[in-house]
A = this chain, B = another copy of it.
Amino acid sequence: MKKIAVFTSGGDSPGMNACIRSVVRSAISLDLEVFGIKYGYDGMIRGEIKKMESQSVSNIVQTGGTILKSARSEEFRTKEGRKKAYENLKKHGIEGIVAIGGDGTFTGANLFYDEFGIPVVGAPGTIDNDLYGSDYTIGFDTAVNTALDAIDKIRDTAASHDRVFFVEVMGRHSGYIAIQSGIGGGAEMVMVPETSTTIDDVISKLREGRDNKKGSSIIVVAEGDAQGSAHEIAARVKIHTPNMDIKVTNLGHIQRGGAPTAFDRILASRLGLAAVEGLINGQKGVMVGVIDNKITYTNLKLSISKSKPLNQELVRLTKILSI
């Protein structure tokens, strides 16, 4: 292998730049040429491919977002689109690619690998931490800390007014951000897609808190919870608790940006190097990850089809600590 390329795709996550930097510098350190593809699959099709040097990635380890930009590509969903993309890679002599992104990115990468046989290593870049084959994804730790920082601020207000706050965090199919920011934020309850919590459960918990002289309560809701959005849940709870002062906040897009935490920068750096070494060592059609703090390679098919269960220890911990 002489030449590889790297790109980001799907929703951005903090640490993607640290991962790009690691791929570029690892490649150069290991005597490869390395190219950056802008705007993900879309840029691959349009030929937005440029050689990168060590200096191209100076001073980005600390930045959110992605210098290679990201975009959705309808065209890549077509056979012709993928063919164009492949030909652009060939034109530059690119023999292997590192795809940084999530579920959707890897579905495309897997198809691309199946059709054209080009070695692909995926690096898990998503705040949701929902990828099978890695204990952590790049951006998750930062997103949790951003959510936590917001919950800390909200607690100030909740405590000053003896209020109940419903805080909605990201996680359409996964409660990872919710459960971690909930435990970290000392939440009274966490509602996640993986477990079933009824409106009655919420009401009981709030009444129990009131009986135990809790002034305020915080309930963290993952956006994908079966009971609906935080606003919907709060509205239904309110009907039964007319004397409680209930407020709702949806943290929204702030969870995607910001300077990555140390954890995410180091994870991104490790995975970037491991992705490059994977390509050199003949890995293809895999996602690189860390399991029990060790580098692993998981078949892309597996990583996109299997789901990662929520840590039940944390679910139990939430209950024990919220008395």
Write the residues of chain A forming the contact surface with B, with a CB cutoff of 8 angstroms.
8, 11-12, 14, 21-22, 25-26, 28-30, 54-55, 58-59, 61-66, 69-71, 135, 141, 144-146, 148, 150, 152-157, 159-162, 165, 180-181, 183-186, 212-214, 247-254, 256-259, 261-263, 265-266, 269-270, 273, 292-293, 295, 313-314, 317, 320-321, 323
- Closest Cβ of chain B: how far from A84's Cβ, in Å? 21
User: Which residues of chain B come closer than 8 Å to A247, judged between CB atoms?
Assistant: 253
Contacting residues, chain B, for A165 (C-beta < 8 A): 253
- What is the distance, in angstroms, from A198's C-beta to the closest C-beta of chain B? 22
Partner of A254, one of B145, B153, B257: B153
The residues of B that contact A63 with a CB separation of less than 8 Å are: 156
Shortest distance from the beta carbon of A48 to any chain B beta carbon, whole Å: 13
CB-based contact A320/B184 at 8 Å: no
Shortest distance between the CB of A15 and any CB in chain B (Å): 10
**Contact partners of A144 in chain B: CB under 8 A:** 262
Q: How far is the CB of A249 from chain B (nearest CB, A)?
A: 4
Known interface pairs A184-B265, A212-B54, A265-B183; A65-B258 also in contact (CB < 8 Å): no
In the complex, what's the smallest C-beta–C-beta distance from A288 to chain B, in angstroms? Answer: 13
The answer on a CB contact under 8 Å between A159 and B321 is: no
CA distance in complex: A259, B149 (Å) = 9
Which of B30, B153, B181 contacts A146 (CB under 8 A)? Answer: B153
Smallest CB separation, A112 vs chain B (Å): 21
Pair B269/A162 contact, Cβ less than 8 Å: no
Chain B residue contacts of A261, Cβ below 8 A? 145, 148, 261
Given contact pairs A180-B262, A183-B265, A254-B154, A26 touches B65 in the complex (Cβ within 8 A): no
Query: A146 contacts which chain B residues (CB < 8 A)?
Result: 153
Number of copies of this kind of chain in the complex:
4
Query: How far, in whole Å, are A185 and B320 apart by their CA atoms in the complex?
Result: 36
* Cα distance, A141 to B194, chains bound together (Å): 28
The reply to whether A155 and B54 form a contact with Cβ atoms under 8 Å apart is no
Chain B positions within 8 Å of A252 at CB level: 248-250
Complex Cα spacing A247 to B269, Å: 27
How far, in angstroms, from A323 to B52 measured CA to CA in the complex? 13
Q: Contacts A250-B250, A269-B321; is A184 near B153 (CB within 8 Å)?
A: no
Select one of B29, B186, B254 contacting A323, CB under 8 A: B29
Residue of B12, B148, B183 touching A161 (CB-CB under 8 A): B12
> A253 CA to B251 CA in the complex, in Å?
9
Those 8 A-B pairs whose CB atoms lie nearest each other, nearest first:
A153-B257, A64-B156, A156-B257, A292-B292, A65-B156, A65-B160, A249-B252, A12-B160
A304 to chain B, nearest CB (A): 22
Contact indicator A12/B269 (Cβ below 8 Å): no
- Alpha-carbon gap, A141 to B30, bound state (A): 30
Are B135 and A293 closer than 8 Å at their CB atoms?
Answer: yes
